[in-house]
A and B are shown apart, each in its own frame.
Chain A
Amino acid sequence: MREERVRDLFAEALGEPRQAAAAAQRLEAFLRLAPALEAERQAERRHPRGAAALAAALAALVLVGLLAVRAGGDRLAKPATAGRPPAATTPVPAGSPPAPGCVPNAPARLIVVDLTAQRLTAYDSGCPFLETPVTTGGPELPTPPGTYHLLVKSATWRVVSPYPISSPHWFPDTTVHDYLRLSAGGLAIHSAEWEPADRYGPGSERGAYATHGDVHVQVAPLQRLYDWAAIGTTVVVRS
């Protein structure tokens, strides 16, 4: 058998990766994030869990880093938030009354997380496509408001505590699903299988299921959100 025939046979047997372009886009976003992700992993690895003093020092470092990161995030976010798409309550220009709750001039896909209402609304072509209660960061580790863009989609993600075991913020390694990464610093929307469905919504950020800054969404609506959202989708987090 000639080599070309073998090559054809391999091409036929193995096919091509499905949705290669979308995958390439995700992988490229990941490539750009790699150093930040690796720095996070190293920070986790460096604190030996037994050595309390070192752990405390590192916790301080991580906290300072997070604060700096958040301050930076806010700073960066400001120009963007100034021009962010108007909220659903914006008066609609007369003559072209869109459906109630629609946002004029919105991008094709837009996600708004309202921290006060603990509610996430996804707008498809400017009209609400999905509304669901969320749980965000508590008073000590609040979710930073700002405008973000979806960087990485991952069906599963292992969340590892950046806080040492001696910290009140420490949590065990946890696998979550439908992970939507919004910033290199770590902000993400993801599942929280341990949180009962009736706990989401107003006030939940001050309750027992308050997050470490991420946005938790119930499993079923999150699946719809995950399937619909695309790399680059704008996500506005507002207080």
Chain B
Amino acid sequence: MTTTTAPAEAPEGVHDSFVDQLQPLLPVAHRLAHAMLRSPDEAEDAIQDAILNAWRAFGRLRPDSAMRPWFLTIVANQCRQRRRNRWWSVIKGGELPELSGGDPADRPDAAGDLRRALARLPHDQRLAVVLRYYLDLSFDEVGRTLGVSGPAAKSRVHRALTRLRLELPEVPDHA
């Protein structure tokens, strides 16, 4: 059966370029969806939808655009969509952990607390911290993925950390 029926407007070779450019991004996209959705099936479905959306938009992508933040934005939008459609997301969110002062990272179940606290964050804040601390992106690239400036991304990350009660004394600007 046919293998590469590109849309009529797509010139020859565009699909190859699309595959070549997106393929290296699949692992990082998968980690993002994994962190945002916490369900293997949902994460994979979100990326499949993101791939289709990316293919639709690929023709309009400017040649000098950075692929990674562009694709991660599409993946993040799909994750937002899926959580919105998921009636049980409220239940999954769980309760805010009991916090009793001290450095949250020193408590025995700090990871579990963080996981539950992350689930309670609004999408944009969760996305910002996941991009920064789970995918290790620079503030500049976090900003491009969120569609805001680098400094705006940084302050969003900080607001999210405050809500997570993980205060940072200082973050170098050039990070």
Contact = CB atoms under 8 A, between A and B. Distances in A.
A31 B51 contact: yes
Interface residues of B, number: 52
A99 interface: no
B115 A39 contact: no
Q: Chain B interface mostly helix, strand, loop or mixed? A: helix
B1 interface: yes
B7 A38 contact: yes
B110 A69 contact: no
Nearest to B171: A3
B99 interface: no
A139 B54 CA distance: 38
Contacts of B110: 9, 12-13
Contacts of A28: 23, 26
B1 A186 contact: yes
Nearest to B33: A17
Q: Chain A interface mostly helix, strand, loop or mixed? A: helix
A24 B27 contact: yes
Contact of A35 (B4, B29, B47, B111): B4
Nearest to B55: A34
A36 B168 contact: no
A1 B167 contact: yes
A31 B23 contact: yes
A5 B103 CA distance: 11
Nearest to B116: A13
A156 B82 CA distance: 15
Nearest to A152: B48
Nearest to B112: A13
Interface stretch (B61-69, B85-93, B128-136, B140-148): B128-136
Nearest to A34: B55
Contact of A184 (B1, B114, B171): B1
A24 B26 contact: yes
Interface string B106-142: 0000111011001000000000011001101000000
Contact of A36 (B5, B26, B47): B5
A223 interface: no
A13 B5 contact: no
Interface string A2-37: 110111011111101111100110111011101111
A184 B52 contact: no
Given A1-B105, A27-B47, A34-B51, A17 B30 contact: yes
Contacts of A7: 133-134, 136
A35 B7 CA distance: 7
Contacts of A1: 103, 105, 166-169
Most buried by A among B6, B48, B114, B167: B48
Contact of A6 (B27, B47, B168): B168
Given A39-B7, A185-B2, 7 more contacts: A3-B133, A9-B105, A12-B111, A13-B110, A30-B51, A31-B19, A39-B5
The 3 closest A-B pairs by CB, nearest first: A185-B1, A183-B1, A17-B34
Interface of B: 1-7, 10, 15, 18-19, 22-23, 26-27, 29-31, 34-35, 40-41, 43-45, 47-48, 51-52, 54-56, 103, 105, 110-112, 114-115, 118, 129-130, 133-134, 136, 161, 166-169, 171, 175
Interface of A: 1-3, 5-7, 9-14, 16-20, 23-24, 26-28, 30-32, 34-39, 41-42, 69-70, 72-73, 76, 144, 154-155, 183-187
